[in-house]
């Protein structure tokens, strides 16, 4: 019996990625990373900025994701996001701009703890990208 | 009776108008294909979003404390209308149809003594509404500068709506746009986005309730998701609108080109006739002059 399932990543403009031969996906859910295998129970969660890793039979792909919703149901993982890019074609300039804009946001006084946590996390992840 | 010279001038001017309308038609046709593609590409996102929200709202048992964006404020006093139109004219009845639809809704609101607030997106809508409803228009947004429709723009509109909702500036929000059916038919649509109307015909195929695991809990996901849904709905409306605009313009320009052709034919006949009449007149004059000798 195969242990593969489907993944659909869509952003508002288009369908970003659609595969039917993945065996594991690791998503940066808001309360920690979740690894999803076949026959996971139905789950809905939303994401924090981070790396989403898709393992298929032949390759491993990684994407940076800014926010989004995931739904897993009937062995189909749907990821809805407004901002995503493949780590392979990460744009250095875009990454550094995102870091500085997030840091600028952090230095404001009127943000609450939750937002500060998310922004800090975002900066961390982005920095780890730019090092690679 | 216009002189031969006048006729000739008119024929040339109609012909050059025809050239312009023909070019516009071809541009619209090219843009239409792209816009249509974009609209189709954008569909999965809004469909999935709808599905997730549907599943979520099913599992919410405590309706009292559900997010207000979903169930409404419990009142229906202030209506916010988002009118999405094009930034350019010369596209047939496209803008007028949306405005007409919106106006009939406005009249209903006003006659029921409710408060009306209008946000126009696209400059044509603002131009047409400002004469009659100037005092109701609270915001006028235009994306003339952005070449393509992008989610970022839609998100801006979405954020404005959320902000107004959080400040309790309205109870009900509806958007007006043209739904793209095919190249010749666009249907003006009125869609309520706050509170969210559950689509009756959009029933989930699985009758059995799915027991989802939520992380974090339903409420938090919903309150995170609903604002996004508003932006998504706006974005969908914008995509449909842009496809409709190009379709409508293409049809309008096609008609204009054909009409110009007919006009040229008619003018040419008139021109030939009056030229023939002038020749005949001259001949008669010569003949009768020769006879009198």
Q: Does A114 touch chain B (CB under 8 A)?
A: no
pLDDT in tens, B238-275: 998 999 999 999 999 999 999 999 999 999 999 999 99
- Check: CB of residue A4 under 8 Å from CB of residue A57: yes
Q: What average pLDDT is seen over chain B?
A: 86
Average pLDDT over residues B22-49: 90
pLDDT at B162 over 60: yes
**pLDDT number for residue A1:** 59
Q: Is A43 at the interface with chain B, CB within 8 A?
A: yes
Active-site positions of B read 91
Distance CA A8, CA A75 (A): 11
Decide if A82 touches B, using CB distance below 8 A: yes
pLDDT in tens, B178-234: 988 888 888 998 988 888 765 544 444 444 456 778 877 777 788 878 888 888 889
| Rounded-to-integer distance, Cα A74 and Cα B51, Å | 14
What is this model's ipTM? 0.76
B45-200+211-252 has which CATH code?
3.40.1380.10
Choosing among A10, A39, A40, A44, which should be mutated to test the B contact, i.e. which has the most B CBs within 10 A?
A44
Residue B60 has pLDDT above 90, yes or no: no
| A41–B213 C-beta distance less than 8 A | yes
């Amino acid at each position: 019996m195969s242990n593969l399932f489907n993944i659909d990543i869509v952003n508002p403009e288009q369908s970003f990625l659609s595969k039917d031969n993945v065996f594991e996906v690791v998503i940066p859910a808001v309360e920690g990373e979740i690894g999803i295998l076949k026959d996971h129970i139905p789950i809905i969660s939303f994401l924090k900025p981070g790396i989403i890793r898709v393992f298929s039979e032949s390759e491993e792909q990684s994407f940076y994701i800014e926010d989004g919703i995931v739904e897993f149901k009937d062995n189909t993982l749907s990821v809805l996001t407004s901002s995503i890019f493949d780590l392979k074609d990460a744009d250095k300039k875009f990454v550094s701009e995102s870091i500085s804009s997030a840091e600028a946001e952090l230095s404001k006084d009127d943000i609450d703890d939750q937002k500060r946590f998310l922004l800090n996390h975002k900066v961390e992840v982005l920095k780890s990208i730019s090092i690679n | 009776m216009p002189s031969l010279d006048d006729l000739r001038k008119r024929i040339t001017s109609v012909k050059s108008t025809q050239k312009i309308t023909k070019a516009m038609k071809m541009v619209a046709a090219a843009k239409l294909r792209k816009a249509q593609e974009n609209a189709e590409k954008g569909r999965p996102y809004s469909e999935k979003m709808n599905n997730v929200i549907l599943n979520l709202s099913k599992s919410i048992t405590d309706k009292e404390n559900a997010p207000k964006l979903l169930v409404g404020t419990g009142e229906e006093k202030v209506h916010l209308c988002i009118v999405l139109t094009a930034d350019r004219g010369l596209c047939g009845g496209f803008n007028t149809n949306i405005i007409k639809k919106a106006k009939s809704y406005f009249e209903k609101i006003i006659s029921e003594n409710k408060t009306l607030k209008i946000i126009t997106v696209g400059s044509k809508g603002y131009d047409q509404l400002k004469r009659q409803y100037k005092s109701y228009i609270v915001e006028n947004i235009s994306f003339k500068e952005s070449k393509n429709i992008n989610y970022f723009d839609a998100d801006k509109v979405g954020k404005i709506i959320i902000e107004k909702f959080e400040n309790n500036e309205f109870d009900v929000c509806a958007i007006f746009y043209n739904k793209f059916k095919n190249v010749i038919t666009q249907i003006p649509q009125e869609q309520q986005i706050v509170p969210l109307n559950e689509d009756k015909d959009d029933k989930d195929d699985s009758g059995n309730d799915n027991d989802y695991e939520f992380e974090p809990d339903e409420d938090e996901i919903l309150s995170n998701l609903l604002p996004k849904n508003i932006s998504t709905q706006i974005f969908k409306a914008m995509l449909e609108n842009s496809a409709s605009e190009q379709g409508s313009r293409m049809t309008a320009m096609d008609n204009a080109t054909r009409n110009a052709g007919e006009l040229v034919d008619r003018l040419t006949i008139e021109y030939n006739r009056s030229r023939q009449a002038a020749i005949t007149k001259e001949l008669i004059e010569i003949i009768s002059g020769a006879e009198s000798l």
